């Protein structure tokens, strides 16, 4: 990948990833509102909005972050499997996307019940659940971890990365020796 | 097969796995085991209704 293209790929990946973190933080706010509000209208609204945020932001941004991360890592000097921090970020992304897909029916179920106008206020208030709060909180922690890893890039090369580096060094020494 | 990326003759200057990776691995394994235990002993249903309080609310009529 040319330097310009690499920079573009990185910019796109960072945009999607930080956007995803923002969407997860927003969904946490909605989950907390849904759990702690005593107003049935607020609870309905929170779970309705949560389903929309999940469908149009959380899931698309999660997969966009995954795809752009794969593309830009393969074109960068860090690679995909050479450094532990990259592998951990990839695993975080895969787990978060997987849990999102598995949790999607819960979002749909909450939204469906929230739109049922035949429910009494007491029944609406009984919808309140800590599960979305727990899942959203865990997602925030994971994505902040991924962000920290991206910036700090802690040391640690995998066996594959070390072999690849040794091979590249040998190639470089060989070509320098040939020129000399 | 001996190739440029084979592991033969390449163990002499291997750097060990960093401590932060080992600790992260331990935490991940503990969390995964806790999840499996929760699934096995907390009931097999992990669908949407598992997370809902038991309020007797049925599916809305369309």
Q: What is the ipTM of this complex?
A: 0.74
From CA A26, how far away is CA A52, in angstroms rounded? 12
Comparing C-alpha atoms, which of A38, A104, A111, A35 is closest to residue B60? A111
pLDDT of residue A99: 93
Tell me the per-residue pLDDT of B36-60, one tens digit each, with 9 for 90 and over: 898 888 755 555 555 454 444 444 3
pLDDT at B13 over 90: no
pLDDT of residue A124: 85
The whole-angstrom distance between B53's CA and the closest CA on chain A is 7
Q: What pLDDT is attached to residue B59? A: 41
Rounded to whole angstroms, the Cα distance separating A113 from A85 reads: 41
| Torsion angle of the four alpha carbons A140, A144, A146, A150, in this order, in degrees rounded to the nearest 10 | 160
Out of B5, B49, B55, the one facing A167 most closely (by C-beta) is: B5
Phi, psi (deg, nearest 5) at residue A62? -60, -50
Q: How far is B3 from chain A (nearest CA, A)?
A: 10
Counting other chains too, the contacts that A26-31 makes at CB distance below 8 Å and 24 or more residues apart are A26/A53, A26/A57, A27/A53, A27/A54, A27/A57, A27/A58, A27/A132, A27/A136, A27/A139, A28/A133, A28/A136, A28/A137, A28/A139, A28/A140, A31/A132, A31/A133, A31/A135, A31/A136
Q: CA-to-CA distance for B20 and A5, rounded, in angstroms?
A: 32
Residues B11-15: what's their mean pLDDT? 63
Contacts of residue A163 in chain B, CB cutoff 8 Å?
A: 5-7, 10
Helix, strand, coil in percent for chain A, rounding step 5:
85, 0, 15
Tell whether the model's pLDDT for residue B6 goes beyond 60: no
Q: What is the per-residue pLDDT for B60?
A: 35
> What average pLDDT is seen over chain B?
67
For residues B30 and A127, the model is more confident at: B30
pLDDT under 70: residue ranges of chain A: 180
Measured CA to CA, the distance from residue A80 to residue A88 in angstroms comes to 10
Residue that is written with structure tokens 């009529």 in the block: B61
Q: Which residues pair with A157 in a beta bridge?
A: A83
pLDDT at position A138 is: 94
DSSP conformation class of A129 = -
Q: How open is the CA angle A165-A88-A54, to the nearest 5 degrees?
A: 140
Tell me the backbone φ, ψ of residue A83, rounded to 5 degrees: -120, 140
pLDDT attached to residue B38: 85
CA distance B28 to chain A (A): 11
Q: Which residues pair with A83 in a beta bridge?
A: A157
pLDDT for residue A16: 97
Whether residue B48 lies within 8 A of chain A, CB to CB, comes out as: yes
């Amino acid at each position: 990948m040319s330097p310009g293209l690499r920079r573009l790929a990185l910019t796109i990946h960072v945009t999607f990833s930080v956007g995803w973190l923002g969407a997860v933080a927003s969904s946490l706010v909605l989950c907390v509102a849904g759990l702690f509000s005593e107003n049935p209208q607020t609870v309905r609204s929170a779970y309705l909005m949560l389903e929309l945020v999940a469908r149009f932001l959380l899931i698309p941004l999660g997969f966009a972050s995954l795809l752009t991360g794969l593309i830009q890592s393969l074109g960068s000097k860090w690679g995909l499997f050479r450094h532990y921090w990259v592998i951990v970020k990839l695993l975080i992304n895969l787990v978060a996307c997987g849990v999102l897909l598995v949790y999607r029916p819960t979002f749909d179920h909450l939204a469906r019940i929230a739109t049922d106008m035949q429910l009494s206020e007491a029944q609406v208030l009984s919808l309140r659940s800590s599960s979305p709060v727990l899942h959203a909180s865990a997602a925030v922690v994971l994505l902040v971890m991924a962000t920290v890893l991206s910036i700090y890039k802690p040391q640690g090369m995998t066996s594959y990365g070390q072999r690849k580096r040794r091979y590249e060094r040998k190639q470089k020494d060989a070509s320098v020796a040939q020129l000399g | 097969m001996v190739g440029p990326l084979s592991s033969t003759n390449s163990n002499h200057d291997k750097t060990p796995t960093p401590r932060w990776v080992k600790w992260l691995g331990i935490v991940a394994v503990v969390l995964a085991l806790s999840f499996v235990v929760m699934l096995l002993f907390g009931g097999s249903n992990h669908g949407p209704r598992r997370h809902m309080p038991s309020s007797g609310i049925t599916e809305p009529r369309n």
